[in-house]
Every structure is written in C-alpha cells, then in structure tokens.
Amino acid sequence: MSLFARFKRAARQAIAACGGIEAARAGIGKGSVVGEWNARDNRRLPSIADAHALDEIALIETGRAPLLEVRAAELGFAIIRLPEFAGSCEAIALEVARCASEFGDVARSVVDALADGRIERAERDAIAREIDEAQAALVRLRALALAEAASFKAERD
C-alpha cells in the first residue's frame, strides 16, 4: 500500500471517529474540504493542523489518533499515549505486575508462533500486538514512577 493510501485510510478513519463528514466539518470548523479528504478518489489530504484537529476528536471518541499513528509509523516510530495520573507505591507495584504479565503474553506468542519452526504473517502480527501492549504497560509504569518521584520531591521541599 502506498504512503498516500495509508494517509487516506487514516484520514477516513479519523473522520469516521469524529462521527462522519458533517460532524468532522462542525468539529474542526472546515467546509466541503472534509468530504474531499474522505473521498477515496480525491488526492487531497488534511494539513498537519487539520490532521491534528481530526486526531484530537478521534482520540476522545476512540482512544486512537489515526493520522498521527500513520505518520509515526512512516518514520519508524510507534505511538503510545501517556497516562495522566499520579503515582503511588501501590500503583507502581501493580503496574510492575501488569508489565510482567504483558511480557509473558509476548513470550507465549513467540513460543506459539515458533512451534512449527516458522512465523506466519498472522503470528507476526499477533506478536507485534503483544509487544505494543507490553510497551504501553512500560510507558504507564514509567509515568507512575515519575509521578511518584515528583510527588516525593514536592513533599520534601
């Protein structure tokens, strides 16, 4: 699939997450151009500012930012949303357990995939999903640890 096709698909996903063309138009304050972004046979794509606006709404509605995800992937990055919560020792300990569980899921996927001596496309995709989930858990753990450290420093000062 071409770069254009990946961006077009992401634009269509973001527009759908906004509630469709009319809702996206109203949500980001754009006119007929949203329909052009949504049309498969139209070469027009949202600007970076418009993509940001679409992704903001999509993030609220679906927890995903399709245009950002595609752009990051094109540059070799994965997107993990940072959590917004304060850390505590109990929360950190629980998140460590979740991380260990997620890594176990990665290991199980790899072992299952290698059972026949080769990794099929579906197995590769499943492994990648498990790795993504493990990375997200580590990001949450990092955010909790940093929040707890900041909280401890504020109490000391």
Q: Of 74, 102, 123, which residue constitutes the final position of a domain?
A: 74
Residue 79 belongs to a domain: no
Given the structure tokens 């469709």, which residue do they identify?
20
Domain that holds residue 69: 3-74
Cβ count within 10 A of residue 118: 8
Are 25 and 59 part of one and the same domain?
yes
Q: Of 43, 74, 105, which residue constitutes the final position of a domain?
A: 74
DSSP assignments along 46-89, one per residue = --HHHHHHHHHHHHHHHS--HHHHHHHHHTT----PPP-----H
- Residue 135 has a pLDDT of 92
- Residue 89 has a pLDDT of 82
Domain count, the chain: 2
- Residue 124 has a pLDDT of 95
Are 65 and 106 part of one and the same domain?
no
Residue 103 belongs to a domain: yes
Q: Of 74, 101, 118, which residue constitutes the final position of a domain?
A: 74
The pTM assigned to this predicted structure is 0.64
Q: Is the dihedral of CA 97, 123, 118, 121 positive or negative?
A: negative
Q: Which helix (H) or strand (E) holds 67?
A: helix 66-74
- Residue 78 has a pLDDT of 81
Residue 63 belongs to a domain: yes
- Residue 85 has a pLDDT of 64
> What angle do helix axes 66-74 and 48-62 make, rounded to 10 degrees?
120
Instruction: Give every residue of the chain whose pLDDT is below 50, as ranges.
Output: none
d(CA 34, CA 99): 40
